[in-house]
Structures are given as C-alpha cells and as structure tokens.
Structure 1
Amino acid sequence: MLANGITLAMKKEAESTFTKLLGLKEVPELGVDPEKVDNTTLEDKMKHSELGIGDPGDLAYKFKWENDVDSSYRKLRAVSDTKETVSFEQTFPDGTKFHFDAQCSVKVSGGGVNAAIEYTLNLGLQTDIVVVDPTA
C-alpha cells in the first residue's frame, strides 16, 4: 500500500466530528519502541533485560505552506498558542485509523532556491495511540 491518501484530522474537546487537515505531505512512524531495562543479576552469565515503557519518538507531520483564513496552519497555530490538548485521527487508505490526544507546536521551515515552503506540526502525546482496524 502506498502512503498516498493518508489523512490527518483534528477535533477539539467541544467538537463532535474530526476536521481534515489539508496539505499533508509527510507523516511520522506510529508505534512505540519500548525501553530495554537491564535486569541482570550477579549470578547471570549474560545480560538479561525486559521491555519497559514505550517511547513513541518524535511525532512530526509536514504540511504544504498555506496561510489563508481557513488554512490548516492557522487552525493548528491557534491550538499551539493556547497549549490546548486536542484529538487527532490519522487514517490510512485501507481504513486503518490511529486515535490519540496531543498538544502541538507549529514551526515554519526555512527556504532556498527552488525549495517549497512548508511547516511542521510537532506533537506531544497526552494519551496512548489507539489503533482501529478496518471492518471490511
């Protein structure tokens, strides 16, 4: 399956439906890398470890630059400015959905000759990532 068609949508606490964020160009890996916790005793001949809590890593989404009144940039910047926790839904083309709540920050990229301006949405998770499998 190609990544083409992946969407990201946002919902504030008072809203009942998700609003699709337009201009999405790149999505991060979703999931966790559990920390390996050393649990070796003095009697062990080799190191023993167990998996600890997970680290989702950096959740950074890249978007095409648009700054009109109804742009995703302005919606995300407004949420970033208030440090509000909002709900996100990332959807794959096959219908798989990933739900999570996060705080966000928005940063505009630099530029250069023949380079498109874009912005990055960085998320700080506030909940676990819940995977919803497609039913069909």
Structure 2
Amino acid sequence: MKKTKILPMNLQLFAGLLTKDTKLSMKQGTGESATFKEIEGLQAVPEIGGDPEQVDVTTLKDANKKYISGIQDMDSLEFTFLYDKTVFSGLKAVQTSGKEAQFELEYPDGAVCSFTGGVTVKMGSGEVNGAYQFTLSVTVSDGPDWA
C-alpha cells in the first residue's frame, strides 16, 4: 500500500477576512501636495457596488418578460463613525463647502476601493448608556474603482 503524506491545513486561510484595521481616508489639500488622511473612529462600512438596472426588452411576441442589464445604480455609501467633535466638524465643513471629496477605503488584506462624491454628515440619535455616532453619506459621482 502506497503511503500518502498528509499536509497540515491552515484553516485560517479559509476563514474569511476580519474587519479589524479597515480604514476610510479622505484626500486632504489640493494639487500635488494632497494626501489621503484616515478618518478616525470608523465603526461600520456599507456594501460597495450596486446592481445594474434592468432594461425591459420584451416584444409583443414574447410569452415571458425579457431583460438586459442596464446602467449600474450606486446608492449613497453610508459609513458609521464614533462621534468625535473634531472629525465631525471637519466633515461638516466639507459638506458646507459643497465640493466633492476623494476617498479610499482600505481593507485589511490590502484591497483598496477609491471613489469621489458629495458629502453629507448626520448626527446619530442618543439613548441611555449609549455612545453617540454619526453617519457620513457619500453620494458617489465617480467610482468605485478597485486596486
């Protein structure tokens, strides 16, 4: 009987990706000196991407409706942060300026998603024995692009 060597399996390779160390950064400054700076206090990240709209291509001869994929529909991306007055005020200033901002979302495995969009900041509700949070909504105008 032929002996087969059994190699040990690293189960962590199949366990997925932990959210720890996920970072959202926003470009600070203008021109060549502009750099991405991490926005502190990130607690929740939305789904990135969107479903394409369905375009009805059914004819009068068809017994069933037929569709083709249309343009991808990107919802606003809503990120949740632990409230910090300095961070909140800085993002509120971007909203007040009416200018779009550039963002990079970096995952723990090094994957990076970049996008540009308008900023809206909303203070969260409060409750007994709870921490205040705020929501950063980005209405995407360009992206998401993956690297």
Same fold (TM over 0.5): yes
Aligned to 1:44: 62
Matches of residues 107-126 of structure 1 in structure 2 within 5 Å? 107-126=122-141
Q: Partners of 2:28 and 2:38 in 1: how far apart? A: 12
Letter in 2 for 1:50: I
- For structure 1, the residue ranges without an aligned partner over 5 or more in a row are none
The 8 Å contact of residues 29 and 35 in structure 2, kept in 1 or not, is answered as no
Structure 1 residue 12: deviation in Å? 4.2
Asked whether the equivalents of residues 13 and 87 of structure 1 are also in contact (C-alpha less than 8 Å), the reply is no
Q: Deviations over 1:17-42 (max 9, x none)?
A: 10100000001100111111111001
Aligned to 1:72, the other structure's residue is in SS state helix
Name which of 18, 26, 32 aligns with 1:10: 26
Q: How does 1:1-136 map to 2 (within 5 A)?
A: 1-12=17-28, 14=30, 15-67=33-85, 71-132=86-147
- Relative to total residues, which structure has the larger helix share, 1 or 2? 2
Q: Match for 2:129: what amino acid?
A: N
> Do the aligned partners of 1:9 and 1:88 also contact (CA within 8 Å) in 2?
yes
CA RMSD of aligned residues (A): 1.2
Q: Which runs of 4+ in 1 moved over 3 A?
A: none
Percent sequence identity over matched residues? Answer: 34
Across the two proteins, how many residue pairs are aligned to each other? 129
Q: TM-score, normalised by structure 1?
A: 0.90
TM-score relative to the length of structure 2? 0.83
Structure 2: gaps spanning 5 or more residues: 1-16
